[in-house]
Structure 1
């Protein structure tokens, strides 16, 4: 069969929806795992809300 590798060669993919604290924690936890991680968020930055009061 064409294009099919062995099971050992397949890389698992993880998609994380949301770049908040939960999404970033999940991505950090999977950093060294043998998986391909994709994080999807509507923004291209992370807003660290706990420190917003210090800016005001």
Structure 2
């Protein structure tokens, strides 16, 4: 799944609300914060995809 501009904006908004990113930033920090959020979203989507595939495979049977 590709990360859209809307996804990035929503994640950044939530990070600011949670105090993970500063509410007021310098212009040069905006791109850095966007890249950080993109990396976090990519990791979350990869983890979710892995979890989904783990859930669809049968559980190991005890010996």
Instruction: Name the TM tier (shorter chain).
Output: under 0.3
Q: Comparing both structures, which one devotes a greater share of its residues to helix?
A: 2
Larger proportion of strand: 1
Normalising by structure 2, what TM-score? 0.23
